[in-house]
């Protein structure tokens, strides 16, 4: 579910945070196999099953970019209150269907999804219960003041948060970024720091 945070009632500027299961699957796959693709190259080696069938840095990156594209497109529909197509609803969640590389890898990804999905739903539930992204009101007000410069160049930035062993920021575009972080270690202050870094990354090509 997409969550939005507003500065105050007199302003409609906001940024969005989401923990997308489909996007997180791409990172879970990397860590399970052990393939490293910058900036997601800080995890240990894995079982190498996907690499043995042909997945490499380039093919994973093509898949990742397509999954990101589907998520951005889906959220554009949601934000504009339009109904997304059935194919888009399907593919933005079941991200393995976006794989267009080796067919052997496609079959493995579908099998891996069946193992991943139940744990991913528990992951989202734990995040919802912990509420690690929202601090005390006074802290949040100070943070909004720190974000003031970004309001001029980032109309409605989106932040996708995925599970990763170390804190990583991946810029997607001038309106979106991915934060990879160990969710059990996230607290409101560390998340505000990561969010600020993500805003800086997004604004890099937007004139700040």
Query: What does each of the 208 residues of the chain score in pLDDT, given as a tens digit?
Result: 445 454 444 567 888 888 999 999 999 999 999 999 999 999 999 999 999 999 999 999 999 999 999 888 877 766 666 666 666 666 666 899 999 999 999 999 999 999 999 999 898 888 877 777 778 888 888 888 898 889 889 988 999 999 999 999 999 988 899 999 998 878 889 999 999 999 999 998 544 3
Output the pLDDT for position 208: 38
Which residue in the block uniquely carries the two structure tokens 């990397």? 30
3-state secondary structure of 117: helix
Secondary structure of 167-202 in HEC code, one letter for each residue: CEEEEEECCEEEEEECHHHCCHHHHHHHHHHHHHHH
The residues near 170 (Cβ < 8 Å, ≥ 6 apart) are 39, 40, 177, 178, 179, 180, 201
Output the pLDDT for position 78: 66
Joined tokens for residue 45: 């080696």
Helix or strand (DSSP H, E) at 159? strand 158-163
Output the pLDDT for position 63: 97
Output the pLDDT for position 81: 66
Output the pLDDT for position 88: 67
Backbone angles phi, psi at 40, to 5 degrees: -90, 70
Strand-strand pairing, 14-18 and 3-6:
antiparallel
Q: Are 32 and 47 in contact (CB under 8 A)?
A: yes
Domain boundaries, the chain: 3-203
Output the pLDDT for position 16: 87
Spatial distance between the Cα atoms of 76 and 202, rounded to a whole number of angstroms = 17
Burial bucket for residue 102 (CB in 10 Å: 0-12, 13-18, 19+)? middle
Spatial distance between the Cα atoms of 121 and 106, rounded to a whole number of angstroms = 22
Partners of 180 in beta bridges: 162, 168
């Amino acid at each position: 579910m997409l969550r939005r945070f507003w500065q105050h009632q007199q302003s409609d500027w906001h940024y969005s945070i989401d923990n997308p299961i489909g996007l997180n699957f791409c990172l879970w796959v990397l860590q399970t196999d052990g393939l490293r693709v910058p900036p997601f190259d800080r995890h240990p080696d894995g079982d190498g099953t996907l690499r043995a069938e042909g997945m490499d840095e380039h093919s994973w990156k093509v898949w990742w970019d397509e999954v990101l594209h589907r998520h951005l497109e889906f959220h554009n529909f949601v934000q504009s209150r339009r109904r997304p197509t059935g194919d888009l609803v399907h593919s933005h969640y079941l991200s393995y269907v976006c794989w267009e590389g080796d067919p052997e890898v496609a079959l493995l990804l579908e099998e891996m999804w069946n193992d991943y999905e139940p744990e991913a739903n528990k992951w989202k539930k734990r995040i919802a219960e912990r509420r690690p992204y929202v601090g005390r009101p006074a802290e949040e007000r100070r943070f909004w003041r720190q974000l003031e410069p970004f309001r001029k160049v980032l109309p409605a930035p989106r932040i996708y948060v995925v599970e990763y062993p170390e804190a990583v920021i991946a810029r997607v575009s001038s309106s979106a970024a991915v934060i990879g972080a160990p969710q059990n270690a996230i607290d409101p202050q560390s998340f505000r720091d990561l969010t600020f870094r993500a805003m800086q990354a997004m604004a890099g090509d937007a004139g700040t």
